[in-house]
Chains A and B, each alone.
Chain A
Amino acid sequence: MVDPNFIASLLASSIRAGTPLLYATLGEIITERSGVLNLGLEGIMITGAFTGFAISLATGNPWLGVLCGGIAGMLLALVHAFFSITLKANQSITGLMLVLLGLGITGFLGRNYIGEVAYYLDLIKIPVLSDLPYLGEVLFSHDPLAYLAVILAALLWFILFKTRYGLEIIAAGEKPEAADSMGVDVDRVRYISTLFGGFLVGIGGAYLSLAYAKLWTEGMTAGRGWISLALVIFSGWMPQRAIFGAYLFGGLDVLSFKLQAIGVGISYHFMKMLPYVVTILVLLVSVIRKRAAFGAPTALGTPYVRGKKE
């Protein structure tokens, strides 16, 4: 089992399986950093998956499909933003309703798309590098969105922690009153963060139907939205850690398959549980050791009302 081929194919598959999770996690990290909790990821992701598929089929252009998938995700997130920020309603419940709404709309509209083959994104094998033994397979033979995800994570890390705009986002999520008094328009920051988050989650969904599975079935996100919520916690709301987390969680599934394929029996029930258990443990460790860097944004889930004291 320490066969390098096994490891290489495991890693390569983990990256592929982790990419949709990475997009969704990055999106939700930004959203939650600004103080908005969006539980509707599963609904947003499936909306992105369906829209991407439908547009790609209609136009023959998968990139357009990906873009539209992101936009569709953004529109759904707009509903959430409106309810959470403007109406100041409870964010958990609107998020949950978005899951239903997304699954419902896509299930209904998607009925006629079963059995279709869409135009999808091809692999890009980076010349020379992709011929390297093992490393070539693992690092340099993926589709463009997979490469983009890593670049995006690095970019978001930079923006969040090294730019003024990123600090505004973090402030809006930690101490909105302080941010407000410093001239930050908390509501606007939250709106933009939520919309941007929804855009990325939609792209993660489009990846599923256009690069990963290349087809459409009802409910095909199969819980990835929920796993991404766990991943946000697991990565401590830090984009760079999300890369590791997404590939790890994606890889857990692949590992269970590969073990089965070589005849090692493993209970897939426990494998399914594992990401959630691990996340709880990570949460536990972080709070026990009072690592503020690992903690949730303080104002997460709380609408900001100017002048209201805790």
Chain B
Amino acid sequence: MKGKFLILFALAVVSAGLLAGCASEEEEQIKAAFVYVSPIGDAGWTYSHDLGRQYIEKVYGVKTAYAENVAEGGDDERVIRQFAEQGYDVIFTTSFGFMDATITVAKDFPDTIFEHCSGYKTAENVGTYFGRMYQARYLSGIVAGAMTKTNKIGYVAAVPIPEVIRGINAFALGVKKVNPDAKIYVVWTGTWYDPAKEKDAAISLIDEGCDVIAQHQDSPAAQQAAEERGVYSIGYHSDMSKFAPNAHLTAAIWNWSVIYSYIIEQVIQRTWKSEQIWWGIDKGVVGLAQFNDAVPEDVRKMVEEEKQKYLNGEVPEQYPFVGPIYDQQGKLVKAEGKVMTDEELLSMSFFVDNVVGEIPASSE
């Protein structure tokens, strides 16, 4: 009885599938697919990438598709493979955790181009791309260091992954440059999706005397807290002054469309080859939002000078991660004049000396 049902069920399903068999149309248009780790509605990471997707759709006439909230490890391989099978010319996987799946599927689809964001493994048809957000963080740190009066700067951070840690350190180095006495206090919220908690974390910092609040989260909640309490803040992802007109000094912003345009142009002209793109402020992938009126002229000038150093190649791309750099225990992590390598940056997991806070210990 149950067996009959099973067979009937299977037959019904298969015949429905066969009956429905679709014929797809060939188009000359370039097709690009995006695999997102969180919903576009996260207002942050995926939202910024999606702005880039919309840009290439509009400007280059690329036909795009996306899948959101794709679970790393469990669902990513299936989704990437589905896009590949549907004939997309290039597939962008926008999270570090998609790395294994991207490489695996790429092996089976040698004619499809795969671009993995924030990863380090490449193949003949797999490239990586990322932005040197830490450069913008560094510059924003200069602003924060100059504007603080209590010498206590708060940083609301989501989870202790290298990217966040790197941002904090770059920011701290910027602060140090103009204000060696200031300290950066880090509070981990442990989440990307909880604006109310982010606000609480910001308020906790403000209550303890911090008068500039920076953040590495997805939402502008920390900015709101700063505005309510009458202190300053540094935004992230995009210009957040709408949420904090008085508090918002500037923001470290992404502009993924620069990289997406570059890649799509290569795909259109059929000149694409696998690269490890890690571009910075000189190419416009990251930047600073407009300054608040409150930021004085001399601070703006200093930021501009430092920014010029990137633009005219006076400093290496890894700047400010050039020695001497000390960790929280006072140990010299990078000797004077030595530059941190990209790999060291990608796996950074210590705090520099003017940061107050802890990173959960990793195994020895």
Contacts and interface: CB of A to CB of B under 8 A. Distances in A.
Interface of A: 5-6, 9, 13, 16-17, 20, 107, 110-111, 114-115, 117, 208, 212-215, 217-220, 222, 253-254, 257-258, 260-263, 265, 267-269, 271-272
B185 A261 contact: yes
Most buried by B among A13, A117, A208, A261: A261
Task: Name, among A6, A208, A214, the residue most crowded by chain B CB atoms within 10 Å (CB to CB).
Answer: A214
Interface residues of B, number: 40
Given A110-B41, A111-B41, A215-B243, A258 B208 contact: yes
Contacts of A268: 188-190
Nearest to B203: A13
Contact of B207 (A9, A107, A267): A9
B54 to A, nearest CB: 13
Contacts of B219: 213, 215, 217
Contact of B193 (A114, A214, A222, A269): A222
A212 B196 contact: yes
Contact of B195 (A16, A213, A262, A265): A213
A244 to B, nearest CB: 19
Interface of B: 39-43, 47, 154, 185-191, 193-201, 203-205, 207-208, 210, 218-221, 224, 242-243, 356-358, 360
Contact of A212 (B42, B154, B199, B356): B199
Contact of A265 (B154, B203, B207, B358): B358
Contact of B194 (A222, A262, A269): A222
A213 B357 CA distance: 25
Q: Is the interface of B mostly helix, strand, loop or mixed?
A: mixed
Contact of A213 (B199, B204, B207): B199
Nearest to B185: A261
Nearest to B190: A268
A222 B207 CA distance: 24
A45 to B, nearest CB: 12
B197 A222 contact: yes
B43 A217 contact: yes
A253 B198 CA distance: 11
Contact of A222 (B39, B191, B224, B243): B191
Given A115-B43, A213-B221, 10 more contacts: A13-B207, A107-B41, A114-B40, A212-B196, A215-B220, A217-B218, A217-B219, A222-B197, A254-B200, A260-B204
B187 A261 contact: yes
A121 B189 CA distance: 25
B207 A5 contact: yes
A269 B218 CA distance: 20
A20 B243 CA distance: 22
Contacts of A214: 224
